[in-house]
Amino acid sequence: MSYVDEIIEQVIAKNPDEPEFHQAVREVLDSIRVIIEANEEKFRRDALLERLVNPERQIKFRVPWVDDQGNVQVNTGYRVQFNSAIGPYKGGLRLHPSVNIGIIKFLGFEQIFKNSLTGLPIGGGKGGSDFDPKGKSDREVMAFCQSFMTELCKYIGADTDVPAGDIGTGAREIGYMYGQYKRIRGLFEGVLTGKGLSYGGSLARTEATGYGLLYITDALLRAHGETMQGKTVVVSGAGNVAIYAIEKAQQLGAKVVTCSDSTGWIYDPQGIDVAALKEIKEVKRARLTEYKNDRPDAEYHEGRGVWQIKADIALPCATQNELHLDDAQQLVKNGCIAVCEGANMPTTEEATKYLQENGVWFIPGKAANAGGVATSALEMSQNSERLSWSFEEVDSQLKKIMESLYANIDDAAKRFGMEGNYVAGANIAGFEKVLDAMNAQGIV
């Protein structure tokens, strides 16, 4: 059996009940097969792949906190420090009831290659908890965040591991966590990114993932002689990534007709009203059912369904495995030309394959949503030099990063005879830098 297949089998056997982690590993290892098999004996001797798929460190801890009724609640906290070959561990914290070690490992593994693709010096990590911020009071969220950070602060630092936001972790949660870190460690340092502007945050970090997604989508279209102008776009999600993806798509002249949350979805043929969406999700933290109060002509549907709407471009921005084979078939039937992933691994393996085989340009999350973490790295730079850059400065660097990222994944796919396969291009280009650094640093 080939070394790559052996390791895929080993990952499945050693990490049972972690299907998302298996999926992420399978996809990357399949793409880098061309590199591994060209020098298989050396890589096997160095146990290169074993070192790549086993996190450097996994931290799991209990998070006790007191709810508003005076009851003690206990959640589980995680931080997976996956790979520090090219820089301090960097990656978000997910707060969602579905969080378990397999989810955090899949996200941490993806983060290694994503962070490498940004061209900036950041390693891969991810963390989070099965805590659900939804429906909790601000005091309960603070109590959870303080307890979570009381334990996490032992393992992180501006030069070791720098967490940030992800699903369920936004400006409010980062603020509470930062306050507790500073209180315990006595350090005012860039230990978290996505901070508020008054205490070391970067302009444009809030917008960065969504804007970056559109900068790379635009670069993809232009490379094929197209533009965003006049395109119809379907988006899933209604959180940080979705909101700023919709905003930038509209600025580029496209019409975005859908968004969704965990209970339902909106079809607004006139184009999503971003101001209304921000008010509902960022200010009121309410359900999308409220959207009809602002836009009576829009449709609200329970469940899932955004991929059934006819569009030129699809941008999944909610969560993993939310775009299935039947959705991909419908998108193709409706003439969709591009799918770019704002979320991490939102397209299932079968759906990805179907889209690629049917000529849809497909950019995977580790490339398409890298603008968020890239701007986090710019926040780290600003914190190190104790300066803050203007919105225009950060935004123009973000745009440059996404354009060169597109050029790099396109080039990597071409170099290995897989032109147009941006999944292979992203995995190969991301891996090459990590491989070089791991080789240089010896067996560690």
**Residues belonging to the active site:** 126
Q: Which of residues 90-119 bind ligand 2IT (CB under 6 A)?
A: 90-92, 114
Name the residue number minimizing CB distance to ligand NDP: 239
CB of 325 to ligand 2IT, least distance (A): 24
Residues whose CB falls within 8 Å of the CB of residue 211, separated by 6 or more in sequence, listed in order: 204, 244, 245, 247, 248, 371, 395, 398
For residue 30, count other CB atoms closer than 10 A to its CB: 16
Residue 34, phi then psi, degrees to nearest 5: -60, -35
- In the list 145, 204, 221, 241, the residue contacting ligand NDP (rule: CB under 6 A) is 241
Least distance to ligand 2IT, CB of residue 157, Å: 15
What span, in angstroms and rounded, lies between the C-alpha atoms of 441 and 324?
A: 40
H helix intervals, 83-204: 101-117, 138-152, 171-185
Q: With respect to ligand NDP, which residue has the nearer C-beta, 54 or 262?
A: 262
DSSP E strand stretches across 16-71 = 57-66
CB atoms under 10 Å from CB of 76, counted, come to 15
Contact present, 221 and 254 (Cβ < 8 Å): no
Instruction: Report the site for ligand NDP in 133-172 (rule: CB under 6 A).
Output: 165-168
Does residue 426 belong to the site contacting ligand 2IT (CB under 6 A)? no
Q: Which residue has the tokens 């905003």?
A: 247
Stretch that binds ligand NDP, among 116-124, 339-347, 403-411, 436-444 (CB under 6 A): 339-347
Pick from 102, 372, 425, 430 the residue near ligand 2IT by CB under 6 A: 372
Using rule CB under 6 A, residue 412 touches ligand NDP:
no
Q: How far apart are CA 232 and CA 254, in angstroms?
A: 6
Please report, as a single letter, which amino acid is at residue 366: K
* 316 contacts ligand NDP (rule: CB under 6 A): no
User: What's CA 10's distance to the chain center, in Å?
Assistant: 26
The residue range among 77-85, 195-203, 225-233, 336-344 that interacts with ligand NDP, by the rule CB under 6 A, is 336-344
State the nearest-atom distance from the C-beta of 291 to ligand 2IT, in Å.
25
Residues 344-363 that bind ligand NDP (CB under 6 A): 344
68: how many CB neighbours lie within 10 A of its CB?
10
Within 10 A of 283 (CB to CB), how many other CB atoms are there? 8
Judged by CB under 6 A, which of 85, 164, 340, 409 binds ligand 2IT? 164
Which range in 10-18, 21-29, 288-296, 372-380 contacts ligand 2IT by CB under 6 A?
372-380
Is the C-alpha dihedral spanning 69, 70, 73, 79 positive or negative?
positive
Query: For the window 193-222, what string marks contact with ligand NDP as x by the rule CB under 6 A?
Result: ----------------x-------------
Binding residue for ligand 2IT (CB under 6 A) from 166, 207, 273, 312? Answer: 166
Question: If binding is defined by CB under 6 A, does position 103 make contact with ligand NDP?
Answer: no
Shortest Å, Cβ 82 to ligand 2IT: 13
Nearer to ligand 2IT by Cβ, of 373 and 394: the residue is 373
Q: Which residue has the tokens 């039937």?
A: 333
**One of 376, 382, 408, 427 touching ligand 2IT (CB under 6 A):** 376
Give the burial class of 329: count Cβ atoms within 10 A of its Cβ; 0-12 exposed, 13-18 middle, 19 or more buried: middle
**What DSSP designation does 323 have?**
B
Q: H or E stretch including 10?
A: helix 3-14
316's contact among ligand 2IT, ligand NDP, none, with CB below 5 to 8 A by partner kind, is: none
Q: Contact positions toward ligand NDP, by CB under 6 A? A: 96, 165-168, 209, 237-242, 261-262, 317-319, 342-344, 369, 372
